A and B are shown apart, each in its own frame.
Chain A
Amino acid sequence: MQMYDLPDSRGHFGPYGGVFVAETLVHALEELRAAYETARKDPAFVAELESELKHYVGRPSPVYHARRWSDLLGGAQIYLKREDLNHTGAHKINNTMGQAMVARRMGKRRVIAETGAGQHGVATATVAARYGMECVVYMGAEDIKRQAANVYRMKLLGASVVPVESGSRTLKDALNEAMRDWVTNVESTFYIIGTVAGPHPYPVMVRDFQAVIGRECVVQMPELAGRQPDAVIACVGGGSNAMGIFYPYIPHDDVRLIGVEAAGDGLATGHHAASLCAGRPGVLHGNRTYLLQDAHGQIVETHSISAGLDYPGVGPEHAWLKDSGRAEYVAVTDDDALKAFHDCCHREGIIPALESAHALAYAAQLAPSMARDRILLVNLSGRGDKDMHTVAEKSGIRF
């Protein structure tokens, strides 16, 4: 394939991405773009980030051959990229560490973040504590009720958690509120966005920080399996873990890239969060991308058993990868994800995050149709400790 050099200088991935924000934010984004450009080309920054990822986050994360589960499925071999073993239990910290270091270079003493399930909020609160920065996390009032343990974790780490009561009181509204804080306090404040969405440079910056996942895999797979995988599979909400593992594989033409969205109760029911499979392009949160919207262009409420996938948009680079055909996007239901969650627990002794269980579910569907010498690499983006209550409730168990 042609050399892949997206986005362009204004953050466009074909017709997607860009900077769709009010004038009041443009200057702050321009400052951020310039600061990030300088940082990523500075060997001292790169070396410090590598050192932090190694000693604080615990990288590289291993790749593990899920041999028993693969044998039971009777087809392709499933390998798991163990992002669940990172400090704070998910891939989110790869990005928050990078952005917090950019914030420090810019002299910002206060960081803010939006969070849905709380994973990005926890990862932000963690690096803020690590660097002695003030931290404010915006979280939808509905999500605060559903994720009490993560709210407490953030508070233990010294962050303030601000409930957002507007709109649907979930992740998208938390993002709106964080943007409002940023535009009001732009002098002192750095906004750490948690996914590959938002206005330029966020989609490219977050991708770059998460691409460590895929870069490690490109080295690890030949060592462990003797070659690169036939397909790389990752769940997609906003799409940061998927972008992180896909990006280094984009030039590997013979590696399929498969993103798995949340089909919730099923795409036909309308209760889902599958922007790429069932949405259409529009403008939200500073970029053009696929959105779940009604006929009048209002953003609709989404549903997924996994709070981390419960978002009506998706990163603009995924929109481009879909249209260009380089990546494929599918969706699995809550029930399929739950089954994969339990299978992964029982067969491999690994409790996956419900988000990651969507990628596992699709791998488990695909594997039996493939020969035993085929290889599927699944990004196990986070661990499932945070989902105990959700899964127990589904099984009718109360603590």
Chain B
Amino acid sequence: MSRIADVFGKLASARRKALIPFVTAGDPAAGGTVELMHALVGAGADVIELGVPFSDPMADGPVIQRASERALAEGVSLDDVLGFVTAFRKRDSTTPVVLMGYANPIEAMGTEAFAGRAQTAGVDGVLVVDYPPEESAEFAALVRRHGIDLIFLLAPTSTKERIDSVARLASGYVYYVSLTGVTGASHLDVGGVGAKLAAIRRSISLPLGVGFGIRDGESARAVGKVADAVIVGSRIIQEMEQGDPAAAAARAATLVRSIREALDRP
């Protein structure tokens, strides 16, 4: 069983929701990413989504764009990101790590080479933002051979047909984007999310995570009532931006801990 399935299995039996923070590898500093990952786990993260910086993050709002730019300024490449995961695995052999990014850095490394190296590094899942199911059948088969889950996005506008095509290829969990927009947007309609998740569950039995628009413990808690996992990204990066870079991991951990507590409150 993959680490991702394992974690979701344990959480389900404990009737708890998964908390998945997203941070961009190399932000705010290349040297701090591994410590940041450990700090997130310490604060209650169940899975870590690690962003692979890209020069043209078309689906991201300004906060994650800035994070990507800072990481690129630090010279962080996909090679380095795999290095961070290898280093993280020396002290943590259980927390799943999902790489989230865009197709081009992966294709530049070569998809075969990437899948092999990601497996060796201890990566559990990959979400390629600009690989919709129609364009990723081969890639899905490739990463699966390397024991890696391919995570897909679904959106409020996804039709039944598209949900079914994701169902055929996805493993690990499915990431539901709570609104049409870019990462970091602010409005969140929990009722609408719940209705759509119910429709998705008719086709997909994998755990459903919800992201985009989750700002704090209360919005996480509301989403946690209808989803299996809550994904928080831009808000964590903002929190780190607002303080001294040396204190970034501590600030992120404080925020994640507060969300964890809200999520677990009976």
**B56 CB contact (under 8 Å) in A26, A27, A284:** A284
B77: CB under 8 A from chain A? yes
B164: chain A residues at CB < 8 Å are none
A270: CB under 8 A from chain B? no
Cα distance, A77 to B145, chains bound together (Å):
59
Question: How many whole Å from B46's CB to the nearest CB in chain A?
Answer: 23
Using a CB-CB cutoff of 8 Å, which residues 124-140 of chain B contact chain A? 129-132, 134-135
Q: In the complex, are the beta carbons of B157 and A22 less than 8 A apart? A: no
Question: How many whole Å from A52's CB to the nearest CB in chain B?
Answer: 31
Q: In the complex, are the beta carbons of A19 and B56 less than 8 A apart? A: no
A291: chain B residues at CB < 8 Å are 104
Interface string of A8-45 (1 = CB under 8 A from B): 00100000001111111111100000000000000000
A293: CB under 8 A from chain B? yes
Question: How many whole Å from B140's CB to the nearest CB in chain A?
Answer: 15
Cα distance, A183 to B157, chains bound together (Å):
11
Q: In the complex, are the beta carbons of A24 and B55 less than 8 A apart? A: no
Using a CB-CB cutoff of 8 Å, which residues 288-322 of chain A contact chain B? 291, 293, 295-299
B113: chain A residues at CB < 8 Å are none
Cα distance, A284 to B185, chains bound together (Å):
23
B131: chain A residues at CB < 8 Å are 20
Cα distance, A26 to B133, chains bound together (Å):
11
B65, B78, B132, B158 interface centre (most CB from chain A within 10 Å):
B132
**A285 CB contact (under 8 Å) in B56, B65, B72:** B56
B108: chain A residues at CB < 8 Å are 282, 293, 295-297
Q: In the complex, are the beta carbons of B62 and A284 less than 8 A apart? A: no
B107: chain A residues at CB < 8 Å are 281-283, 297
Q: In the complex, are the beta carbons of A21 and B130 less than 8 A apart? A: yes
What is the size, in residues, of chain B's interface with A at 8 Å between Cβ atoms? 41
Cα distance, A62 to B228, chains bound together (Å):
64
Output the nearest chain A residue to B130 by Cβ-Cβ distance. Answer: A20
Q: In the complex, are the beta carbons of B58 and A285 less than 8 A apart? A: yes
Cα distance, A25 to B181, chains bound together (Å):
9
Q: In the complex, are the beta carbons of B61 and A24 less than 8 A apart? A: no
Question: How many whole Å from A92's CB to the nearest CB in chain B?
Answer: 23
Question: How many whole Å from B154's CB to the nearest CB in chain A?
Answer: 6
Q: In the complex, are the beta carbons of A23 and B61 less than 8 A apart? A: no
B162: CB under 8 A from chain A? yes
Q: In the complex, are the beta carbons of B132 and A167 less than 8 A apart? A: no
**A283 CB contact (under 8 Å) in B103, B134, B157, B159:** B103
A110: CB under 8 A from chain B? no
A383: CB under 8 A from chain B? no
A-B contact count (CB 8 A): 120
Question: How many whole Å from A311's CB to the nearest CB in chain B?
Answer: 12
A105: CB under 8 A from chain B? no
A172: CB under 8 A from chain B? yes
Q: In the complex, are the beta carbons of A21 and B79 less than 8 A apart? A: no
Q: In the complex, are the beta carbons of B185 and A298 less than 8 A apart? A: no
Using a CB-CB cutoff of 8 Å, which residues 46-86 of chain B contact chain A? 54-59, 61-62, 65, 69, 72, 77-79
Output the nearest chain B residue to A166 by Cβ-Cβ distance. Answer: B65
Question: How many whole Å from A231's CB to the nearest CB in chain B?
Answer: 34
B152: CB under 8 A from chain A? yes
B180: CB under 8 A from chain A? yes
B134: chain A residues at CB < 8 Å are 10, 18-19
Q: In the complex, are the beta carbons of B56 and A24 less than 8 A apart? A: no
Output the nearest chain B residue to A23 by Cβ-Cβ distance. Answer: B153
Cα distance, A28 to B77, chains bound together (Å):
32
A299: chain B residues at CB < 8 Å are 55-56, 104
Output the nearest chain A residue to B72 by Cβ-Cβ distance. Answer: A298
**B79 CB contact (under 8 Å) in A26, A179, A296:** A296
Cα distance, A172 to B162, chains bound together (Å):
29
A365: CB under 8 A from chain B? no
A283: chain B residues at CB < 8 Å are 102-104, 107, 130
A-B contact pairs, 12 of them (CB 8 A): A10-B134, A20-B132, A21-B58, A21-B59, A23-B152, A24-B153, A167-B55, A180-B58, A296-B105, A296-B108, A298-B77, A298-B104
15 A-B pairs besides A176-B58, A283-B104 with CB distance below 8 A are A19-B134, A21-B130, A22-B59, A22-B132, A23-B132, A23-B153, A24-B177, A27-B158, A180-B182, A184-B185, A282-B108, A283-B130, A296-B108, A298-B55, A298-B105
Q: A-contacting residues of B (Cβ < 8 Å)?
A: 54-59, 61-62, 65, 69, 72, 77-79, 102-109, 129-132, 134-135, 152-155, 157-159, 162, 177, 180-182, 185
